[in-house]
């Protein structure tokens, strides 16, 4: 994290006139990008995290497609000690092939059969693509023992990142609420490693309520794919052309979003020339609704993972005391290299190649077969039998996977559900996701501290707060926000820059979020107190001029202002221009 911070700082010095750089993190790179942004928010722009597990204890729990058996691996293996053991066998280096093997074991049908059958079934055209992918996929990397132990203790098992319990090299905790840049979350319902729950639940844990997101000036955008797998999120050509391209296209636009939680949708259509084009829309959501949608069991299934964390600490300590000294004494660079070379994923490559002296005849034989190849006709009955046989083998491996995963899940909850009930359930009050912040189903949002603070400051501020309040009052409610309107909004901001406050984007979003809370709960009072914010005659004239100019602007008219917006404009203008009369309060003038 410290090294990447220096990279970002160097990048900014090389491009001083450019906006802050956007950070994109895939999978584990997601939490790495979030750590950088949390520790150095002044140097980072928008953050995009794709398939990134941020809430490691969350999951689908028997909801059909999208279940994630990897979620239970830490508990079934007894915690983090096995990662330390593997690193000790590697003389202080952890072999990344172990992680890839865990990934490939999730889909034995594809790993053991389907991808090879697809290769040989299309042997005349498929080899270049197959080899290109396998050479990339099979380039396993090494990690130091300290690195894999930190990851397993704090993230995979401990799930500590969102809670602020993780500290950097300086000793300061990573507080994700310090991030001031917009965040885009991209996940897939078909991802069985990082399901949407792991990608989104940290937002509910960290902020607790929609009002807190707004009060902190944060913008969070979620994008959901319906069926792509974990690896496809990062390397699929179709996903790159559609989702990733559109994400990049909106990075500047989302800087101007009002604080809140948004859903991003991408619609594919054909233009007049028959070319494919994409239409991007955003719709605002409440955090409470999204959390309920993705967690139909109200996250009760996460409680046994507390027992996993406790047992993991015990096993880790026991390993360090009794076994680690012996393992480290027996390991050296020679044994570590042998372990790596004979790892099953490497062995299956070199053992069946011309590196093996017993297979020295293989290259010439393969060349002869390729030269004299005689493809079978498409209607050859033996090809039909072959394809049916392949489907049976693949289906059998899928059946094995389903039974294995169901058994793993049942075993996990049998063991750790009972451990939690017996030893941890009564140790502390149940940690309901919304209980700590008062966002339960029966709670009143007005009781939230951020709402109280915002409403208490309804008469405080100046020209900047008045602009932000008017923007909140005039915003469209409950309808999609197309990207084209965001582009128009940016053009208007540039055209009327002399009327607008000159503030950094993150400060503007924080002020806008506070004013939106005020407008949401006390709309009439918000309008009535606008004259208090622009008490200065010059500021008020400037404010009214801006409103009038915007209303006449062709770009505003082209977006089709709604009747509600026009009525609100009249109310705002009346509140600012009307003179109070004896016996009639300012608040009364603002009411319709």
Each residue's pLDDT tens digit, 552-573? 888 888 888 888 888 999 999 9
Strands (E), 121-180: 142-144
**337, pLDDT greater than 90:** yes
CA distances from 111 to 330, 445, 474 (A): 33, 50, 55
Task: Decide the pairing of beta strands 260-270 and 276-285.
Answer: antiparallel
Which DSSP category does 94 fall into? E
Place of tokens 């690896």: 231
Distance from C-alpha of 559 to C-alpha of 314, rounded to nearest angstrom = 62
pLDDT of 24 strictly over 60: yes
Q: How far apart are CA 17 and CA 15, in angstroms?
A: 6
Instruction: Tell me 241's DSSP state.
Output: I
pLDDT for position 551: 86
Environment class of 156 (CB within 10 Å of its CB; exposed 0-12, middle 13-18, buried 19+): buried
* CA dist., res. 397 & res. 219, Å (int): 44
DSSP one-letter string for 454-473: HHHTTT---HHHHHHHHHHH
Identify the H or E element spanning 523: helix 523-528
Distance CA 532, CA 465 (A): 11
Flag whether pLDDT at 36 surpasses 70. yes
Q: What is the mean pLDDT of the chain?
A: 89
How many C-beta atoms surround the C-beta of residue 188 within 10 A?
A: 26
579 pLDDT exceeds 50? yes
**Tokens representing residue 219 in the block:** 């913008």
Do 81 and 324 touch, CB atoms closer than 8 A?
A: no
Dihedral of alpha carbons 499, 501, 504, 509, sign: negative
Torsion of CA 246, 249, 251, 257, to 10 degrees: -90
pLDDT tens column, 276-299: 888 899 999 999 999 988 887 888
Residue 77 in 3-state DSSP?
Answer: coil
219-225 vs 183-188, strand pairing mode? parallel
Residues of the chain by 3-state class (helix, strand, coil), percent to 5: 60, 10, 30
Cα Rg of the chain, angstroms:
29
Look at residue 583 in the predicted model and tell me its pLDDT.
45
pLDDT score, position 581: 47
Neighbours of 448 (CB within 10 A): 21
Q: What is the pTM of this model?
A: 0.89
pLDDT of amino acid 461: 92
CA distance 270 to 428: 57
pLDDT in tens, 390-438: 999 999 999 999 999 989 999 999 999 999 999 998 876 544 444 344 4
Residue 277 sits at φ, ψ, to 5 deg, of: -135, 165
Of residues 463, 473, 489, 438, the one with CA closest to residue 590: 473
pLDDT, average across residues 204-230:
92
Instruction: Inform me whether the pLDDT recorded for 588 exceeds 60.
Output: no
Following CA atoms 512, 516, 522, 523 in sequence, which dihedral angle do they give, to the nearest 10 degrees?
90
**Residue 504 structure tokens:** 């950094």
Selected residue with higher pLDDT from 64 and 83: 83
In this prediction, residue 568 carries a pLDDT of 92
Task: Write the pLDDT tens digit of every residue in 436-458.
Answer: 444 455 567 888 888 999 999 99
Q: Residue range 8-33: average pLDDT?
A: 93
- pLDDT(584) > 50: no
DSSP state of 244: I
Residue boundaries of the structural domains of the chain:
2-57+159-297, 445-590
For residues 232 and 591, the model is more confident at: 232
Q: Are 451 and 513 in contact (CB under 8 A)?
A: no
Sheet architecture: strand order including 23-26: 23-26, 47-50, 183-188, 219-225, 260-270, 276-285, 481-482
Q: Which of 62-66, 262-266, 399-403 has the lowest mean pLDDT?
A: 62-66
Q: What CA–CA distance (Å, rounded) separates 98 from 86?
A: 9
Q: Is the dihedral of CA 561, 562, 565, 567 positive or negative?
A: positive
Q: Which distant-in-sequence residues (6+ apart) come within 8 Å of 264 by Cβ?
A: 184, 221, 222, 223, 247, 250, 280, 281, 282
Q: Is 423 within 8 Å of 487 (Cβ atoms)?
A: no
Enter the tokens of residue 32: 């790495």
- CB of 525 closer than 8 Å to CB of 458: yes
- Residue 283 has a pLDDT of 93
Confidence class for position 269, pLDDT limits 50, 70, 90? confident
Distance, in Å, from the CA atom of 562 to the CA atom of 486, rounded to the nearest integer, reads 17
* Residue from 576, 515, 583, 520 nearest 547 by CA: 576
pLDDT tens digit sequence for 141-178: 999 999 999 999 999 999 998 888 888 777 888 899 99
Using DSSP's 3-state secondary structure scheme, residue 167 falls into strand
Q: Quote the tokens at residue 159.
A: 């799930």
Asked if 548 contacts 541 with a C-beta cutoff of 8 angstroms, the reply is: no
Contact yes or no for 333/97 (Cβ under 8 A): no
Query: For residue 333, what pLDDT band results from cuts at 50, 70 and 90?
Result: very high
For 524, the token pair is 């009439």
Please give the backbone phi and psi of residue 70, each rounded to the nearest 5 degrees, phi first.
-60, -25
Q: Give the tens place of pLDDT for each residue, 461-509.
A: 999 999 999 999 998 887 888 888 888 888 888 899 999 998 888 899 9
Place of tokens 């208090």: 532
Which H or E element spans position 521? helix 505-521
Which pair of tokens denotes residue 153?
A: 């203790």
Structure tokens given for 138: 């099979």
Q: Beta 47-50 vs 183-188: how paired, if at all?
A: parallel
Q: Which residues contact 276 (CB under 8 A, 6 or more apart)?
A: 268, 269, 270
**pLDDT value of position 340:** 96
| 54-63, 90-99, 116-125, 290-299: least confident range | 54-63
Integer Cα distance of 153 and 496 in angstroms: 52
The domain defined by 2-57+159-297 folds into Rossmann fold (3.40.50)
pLDDT at residue number 68: 79
């Amino acid at each position: 994290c410290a090294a990447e911070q220096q990279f970002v700082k160097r990048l900014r010095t090389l491009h001083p006139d450019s906006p802050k750089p956007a950070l994109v993190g895939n999978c584990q790179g997601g939490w790495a990008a979030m750590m950088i942004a949390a520790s150095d928010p002044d140097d980072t722009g928008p953050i995009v995290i794709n398939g990134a597990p941020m809430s490691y204890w969350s999951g689908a729990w028997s909801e059909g497609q999208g279940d994630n058996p990897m979620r239970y691996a830490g508990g079934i293996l007894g915690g983090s000690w096995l990662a330390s053991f593997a690193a000790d066998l590697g003389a202080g280096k952890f072999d990344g092939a172990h992680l890839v093997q865990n990934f490939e074991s999730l889909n034995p049908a594809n790993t053991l059969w389907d991808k090879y059958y697809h290769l040989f079934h299309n042997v005349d055209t498929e080899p270049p693509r197959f080899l290109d992918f396998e050479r990339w996929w099979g380039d396993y990397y090494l990690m130091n023992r300290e690195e894999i132990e930190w990851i397993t203790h704090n993230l995979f098992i401990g799930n500590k990142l969102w809670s602020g319990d993780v500290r950097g090299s300086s000793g300061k905790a990573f507080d994700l609420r310090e991030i001031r840049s917009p965040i885009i979350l991209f996940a897939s319902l078909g991802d069985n490693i990082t399901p949407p729950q792991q990608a989104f639940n940290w937002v509910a844990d960290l902020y607790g309520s929609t009002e807190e997101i707004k009060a902190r000036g944060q913008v969070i955008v979620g994008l959901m794919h319906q069926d792509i797998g974990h690896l496809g999120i990062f390397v699929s050509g179709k996903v790159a052309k559609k989702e990733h391209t559109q994400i990049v296209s909106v990075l500047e636009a989302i800087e101007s979003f009002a604080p809140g939680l948004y859903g991003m949708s991408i619609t594919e259509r054909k233009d007049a020339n028959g070319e494919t084009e994409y239409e991007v829309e955003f719709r605002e959501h409440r955090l409470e609704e999204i959390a309920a949608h993705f967690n139909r069991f109200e996250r009760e299934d996460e409680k046994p993972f507390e027992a996993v964390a406790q047992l993991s600490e015990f096993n880790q300590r026991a390993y360090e005391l009794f076994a680690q000294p012996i393992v480290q004494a027996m390991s050296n660079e020679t044994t570590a290299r042998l372990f790596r070379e004979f790892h099953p994923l490497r062995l299956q490559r070199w053992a069946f190649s011309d590196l093996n002296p017993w297979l020295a005849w293989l290259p010439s034989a393969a060349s002869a077969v390729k030269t004299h190849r005689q493809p079978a006709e498409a209607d050859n009955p033996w090809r039909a039998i072959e394809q049916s046989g392949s489907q049976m083998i693949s289906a059998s491996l899928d059946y094995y996977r389903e039974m294995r995963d169901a058994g793993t899940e049942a075993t996990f909850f049998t063991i750790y559900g009972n451990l939690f009930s017996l030893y941890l359930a009564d140790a502390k009050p149940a940690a309901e996701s919304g209980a700590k912040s008062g966002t339960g189903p029966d709670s009143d949002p007005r009781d939230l501290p951020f709402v109280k603070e915002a409403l208490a400051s309804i008469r405080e501020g100046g020209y900047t707060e008045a602009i932000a309040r008017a923007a909140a009052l005039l915003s469209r409610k409950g309808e999609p926000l197309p990207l084209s309107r965001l582009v128009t909004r940016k053009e208007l901001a540039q055209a009327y820059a002399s009327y607008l406050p000159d503030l950094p984007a993150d400060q503007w979003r924080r002020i806008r979020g506070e004013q939106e809370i005020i407008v949401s709960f006390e709309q009439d009072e918000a309008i009535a107190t606008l004259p208090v914010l622009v008490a200065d005659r010059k500021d008020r004239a400037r404010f009214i001029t801006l409103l009038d100019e915007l209303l006449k602007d062709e770009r505003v008219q082209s977006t089709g202002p709604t009747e509600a917006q026009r009525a609100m404009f009249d109310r705002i203008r009346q509140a600012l221009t009307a003179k109070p009369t004896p016996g009639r309060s300012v608040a009364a003038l603002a009411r319709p």
